[in-house]
Each structure stands twice: as C-alpha cells, then as structure tokens.
C-alpha cells in the first residue's frame, strides 16, 4: 500500500510538472512575440526619423504601434535626449 501511494504521488507530481512546463513554454512564446513586436515598432520609429518626419510624428506612430503592448508612451523604452 505504501509503495502504491508513493507511485501515485510521483505520477501526480510529474504530471503537474509537465503542465507547468507547457505553461512556461506558452509564456515564453508570448514574451518572444511581444519583444519582437516592440522591436519592430522601434525599427519603424527609427525609419520614420530617418525619413525626416519629425520626432513628434514618429513618437505618435510609435505610441500607436505599441498601444496595449508595452508600458508608457515609448513602448517600454525610455532614454534621454
């Protein structure tokens, strides 16, 4: 009986660990996608500035591209000028 309970406990523990691992993988994929989207938005903002559209217009485009994606109006990045 004792061995049966230990085996049952081991199976439950391993299945819980497998579930957590799947959750971690999904979270990791979502994090990668979010970071890629932020990088794309910043690349577009840099191109906007290179095109001479002006900082105000480019920051507005960046804010629109990042809405709901990152914190703050600069898509999660802050720097000084």
Q: What is the CA radius of gyration of the chain?
A: 23
The mean pLDDT of 4-28, rounded to a whole number, is 70
In the chain, where the domains are located: 43-69
CA distance 58 to 38: 14
DSSP string, 25-77: HHHHHHHHHHHHHHHHHHHHHHHHHHTT--HHHHHHHHHHHHTTTSSTTTTT-
pTM score, two decimals? 0.65
Query: pLDDT tens digits for 39-79?
Result: 999 999 999 999 999 999 999 999 999 888 887 767 876 65
């Amino acid at each position: 009986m004792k061995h049966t309970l230990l085996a049952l406990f081991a199976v439950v523990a391993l299945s819980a660990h497998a579930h957590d691992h799947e959750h971690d993988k999904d979270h990791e994929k979502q994090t990668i996608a979010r970071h890629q989207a932020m990088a794309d938005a910043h690349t577009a903002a840099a191109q906007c500035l290179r095109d001479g559209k002006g900082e105000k217009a480019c920051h507005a485009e960046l804010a629109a591209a990042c809405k709901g994606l990152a914190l703050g109006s600069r898509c999660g990045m802050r720097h000084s000028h």
